Structure 1
Amino acid sequence: MTIEAVTLSESLEKAPIRSLKTPIAFAIFTALSVMLFVGFARDERVVFQLSPENAAIKIPLITVTPVIVGSLVSILLAGATIYAALLAREARKTPVWVTSLVAFLFTLSFLAWAGAGNTLNITQLLVSSVALSTPLIFGSLGGILSERAGVVNVAIEGQLLAGAFLAAVVSSVTGSPWAGLFAAGVGGMLVGFVLATFSIKYWVEQVIVGVVINVLVSGLTSFLYTAVLVKNTETLNTATRFGRWKIPVLADIPVIGPVLFNQTVIVYVMYLAVFGVWFGLFHTRWGLRLRAVGEHPQAADTVGINVNRTRFWNVALAGVVAGAGGAYFTLDSVSHFGKDMTAGLGFIALAAVIFGRWNPIRATLASLLFGFAMSLQFVLGAISSGVPSEFLLMLPYVVTVFAVAGFVGHVSGPAASGKPYVKG
């Protein structure tokens, strides 16, 4: 290679990369805001209720006119689009707070537009969002642990489903929701063992293994449900659920209190799981070893870490975490197991892993976003808003696609994820 070619190559590598993806996404949201929230706004007002009727500290009702909110939001979105375009011109990234602000403003305008003529209980919407996000958060944490260890976990759906099934059966037999929660973790761990065995020991393509496991668990639980649970509903499929546990003082904080501190035990366990995974990954020796075998297994092997054994047990641990999320369906949401009741949420959890860039905190925020979309679907359906029911059914998945494709785009996971390690 000539000196000129080397110089050209180095200059290209150092040249700033301009990406118009964010400004284009902002422009699309601005156009939608003008078209829907201004052009098709109704004259009826919407009332936002920010505190429950029995709240210790009440916040006054907020009444707004949708077209005014839509107009103001459209102007702010246009400003954010111009700002993002100027940053892209200088090859600079749009700050996260700007993207968050755009998402918040668009959501606020959407709520005002869709809820015209109704009263929207925002606190209840957020409470439901946190609850519906719980299995997604557990699933995304399981996905992060597995992929940080170097094994792609497409089997989150199967782990959630196995956890939901065993939680229902064990809780029904023992009468204890705690036993059901423990059984859910065991169910997810068993699925994790299958994934780890075929991926690590037999070097089978990990994505294919995950898909096969999902189909296997779905078929097996459906068969057992029809052959066993339906015939013994009272004894095997009537689970004892967790009740709500209100934390004194904290639960009385306006808005935040009812949302975060008046939840069921599974939600509180989820808080602990998020902190535990984050702290363990980035502040312990175990987390350092886990990330090492997922990023550079050869280097980890050189310093004496047994790569495949570390991967195997951490994939099993990931199954425990994801399986515990399955308990939400049968110990929190409803008190019985139903066929394929996870309804594809395992794949949304996998999207949260990517959207969160394999970071527990970011993946939790992504899961909360998807949970909010699901909660919004139910709330708008209950008040008979002007949004077509078909779109409401699509809403969580549309948000998932926009979030991953529109705001994340191409991202790279752990360097050795999906690659079997062969020593020597």
Structure 2
Amino acid sequence: MSTPVVPLAAGTPADDMSAVAQRISYKTPIVFAVATLVCLLGFAVGAPEGETTFQIASGSGWFTIPNFGVPAAATAWVLTLLLAAATAYAFWLTRARRPIPMWLNATVGLLFVVGFLVWVGAGKTSVIPVTSLLAGALALSVPLIFGALSGVVCERSGIINIAIEGQLLFGAFAAAVIASLFAQPYLGLVGAPLAGASVGAVLAWFSVKYHVNQLIVGVVLNTLVLGLTGFFFSTVLRADVSTWNSRQPLGILEIPLLSQIPVLGPVLFRQTILVYIMYAVIVLLQIMLFRSRWGLRTRAVGEHPKAADTVGIKVNPRRVWNTILGGAIAGLGGAFFTVGSGLAFGREMSAGNGFIALAAMILGKWNPKGAVVAALLFGFSKNLGNVLSTIGSSVPSELLLMLPYVITIFAVAGFVGRVRPPAAEGIPYTK
């Protein structure tokens, strides 16, 4: 006698059935629990005596917020309890097979950072400048954001862009030379993307036309740009600094009214034109990638080029032009190192930011918004090390410089959720 088959209730969606069959993953709640444990044992238990003083805003805004101090021990315990509550809520959501909202991730991160700042600043006479900390974090994130967005454009098209480091460095070189030669920093913003686009064009040429391994091409281009810029720096730029490598800083542009908002005003709206261009690129790329025909076709050639080809999309030309576009975006980010920071060009001044930008792209799951958030996190960790050294903290700044790489390891290991690159990434397409 055969076993009767019980039919599903009418209207039962297949997605619900797959969700029931899917195994529950407690990775995110475990990360929350580790953060809570660190806050408890590291910040609350045996917390230093005294207060931690924060400086929120100065008199440059609409109104002045005076410095205020918080008791270190009591604040650490309160933050630990809040983290414990957030962790319990995350476990409950996971157990109920509900997604953990983004605001909960942001809240846990904010509580942990505040707990760390309270701990390192306890009992010290110097204050923790919150506005300067955030402004410096944004500044250090500029090349990372441009580099990460470059990676998103290229890899969504199916081209692995390991050459972001070279594109940043060549953009910095071109911006410095052109701005110095014409004594006009804004012309440097024209030369930087052209320099980055040239590196992207070489990457696309070898990857698409000759099917050379894209990882190898990227590494070779990084080495080539490093050698070329180092050679010209030693032989030309040093020989006549005033002509070829003088400082040409971009001016600060304050947006009326918005720049007077406490905290956010100085951080977001008292910036150079390069930062405002970055804002526009972020918004435009997010919209274009997911709300336009160009974005749909770009994602199609990165996910399934054969299917895209069958509906008339020219796969290889689109990959070439998008790789050149990605190089231009990265090159524009390289201008931050010279005209954006008011510095002359220096040898190897990109200092590995291109590889950190790649990590931000991976952590952001090949999404412009996610890549920007990850880049801001990395920039914050860098600037936090600088701030801690100024207030005399005993925490080695080198530990904070390790943070971007540690976060990347956790991201690749899957602790931030599923990380899946475009399916056809790095695979040449032959029609």
How far apart, in 2, do the equivalents of 1:407 and 1:249 lie? 41
What does 1:300-315 correspond to in 2, within 5 Å?
Answer: 300-315=308-323
| Aligned residue number for residue 378 of structure 1 | 386
What does 1:275-286 correspond to in 2, within 5 Å?
Answer: 275-286=283-294
| Aligned residue number for residue 22 of structure 1 | 28
Is 1:231 the equivalent of 2:236? no
Task: State which of 170, 174, 190 in structure 1 corresponds to 2:178.
Answer: 170
Report deviation, 1:410.
4.3
| Aligned residue number for residue 186 of structure 1 | 194
Report deviation, 1:127.
1.1
Distance 1:252 1:360, change over 3 A: same
How far apart, in 1, do the equivalents of 2:406 and 2:47 lie? 22
Structure 1, residues 15-63: CA drift from partner, whole Å, max 9, x if none? 1221121122112111111121113421131111111233222223221
Aligned partner of residue 332 in structure 1, secondary structure: coil
How far apart, in 1, do the equivalents of 2:242 and 2:348 lie? 20
Q: Which moved more, 1:395-404 or 1:203-212?
A: 395-404
Aligned partner of residue 387 in structure 1, secondary structure: coil
- Higher share in helix: 1
| Aligned residue number for residue 258 of structure 2 | 250
Q: Which moved more, 1:346-355 or 1:315-324?
A: 346-355
| Aligned residue number for residue 224 of structure 2 | 216
Aligned partner of residue 336 in structure 1, secondary structure: coil
CA contact (8 A) 1:66 1:113 kept: yes
Report deviation, 1:80.
2.1
How far apart, in 2, do the equivalents of 1:412 and 1:392 lie? 27
Structure 1, residues 380-403: CA drift from partner, whole Å, max 9, x if none? 111111212432443444455455
| Aligned residue number for residue 9 of structure 2 | none
| Aligned residue number for residue 369 of structure 1 | 377
One-letter code of the match for 1:283?
Answer: R
How far apart, in 2, do the equivalents of 1:292 and 1:35 lie? 49
Unaligned runs of 5+ in 2: 4-16
Report deviation, 1:284.
2.2
What does 1:108-147 correspond to in 2, within 5 Å?
Answer: 108-116=114-122, 117=124, 118-147=126-155
How far apart, in 2, do the equivalents of 1:358 and 1:406 lie? 15
Aligned partner of residue 231 in structure 1, secondary structure: coil
Task: State which of 44, 54, 78 in structure 1 corresponds to 2:84.
Answer: 78
Report deviation, 1:134.
0.8
TM-score by length of 1: 0.93
Distance 1:338 1:22, change over 3 A: same
Distance 1:260 1:342, change over 3 A: same
Unaligned runs of 5+ in 1: 4-10
Report deviation, 1:143.
0.6
How far apart, in 2, do the equivalents of 1:370 and 1:392 lie? 9
| Aligned residue number for residue 6 of structure 1 | none
Report deviation, 1:81.
2.2
Q: Between the two proteins, what is the percent identity of the paired residues?
A: 51
Report deviation, 1:94.
2.2
Give the total of aligned pairs. 415
How far apart, in 2, do the equivalents of 1:404 and 1:234 lie? 46
How far apart, in 2, do the equivalents of 1:296 and 1:392 lie? 40
Task: State which of 53, 56, 60 in structure 2 corresponds to 1:50.
Answer: 56
CA contact (8 A) 1:17 1:91 kept: no
Distance 1:406 1:255, change over 3 A: farther
Aligned partner of residue 306 in structure 2, secondary structure: helix
Report deviation, 1:215.
1.9
Q: Which moved more, 1:267-276 or 1:59-68?
A: 59-68
Report deviation, 1:359.
1.3
RMSD value over aligned CA atoms?
2.0
TM-score by length of 2: 0.91
How far apart, in 1, do the equivalents of 2:333 and 2:130 lie? 25
| Aligned residue number for residue 422 of structure 2 | 414
One-letter code of the match for 1:172?
Answer: S
How far apart, in 1, do the equivalents of 2:387 and 2:342 lie? 18
CA contact (8 A) 2:72 2:119 kept: yes
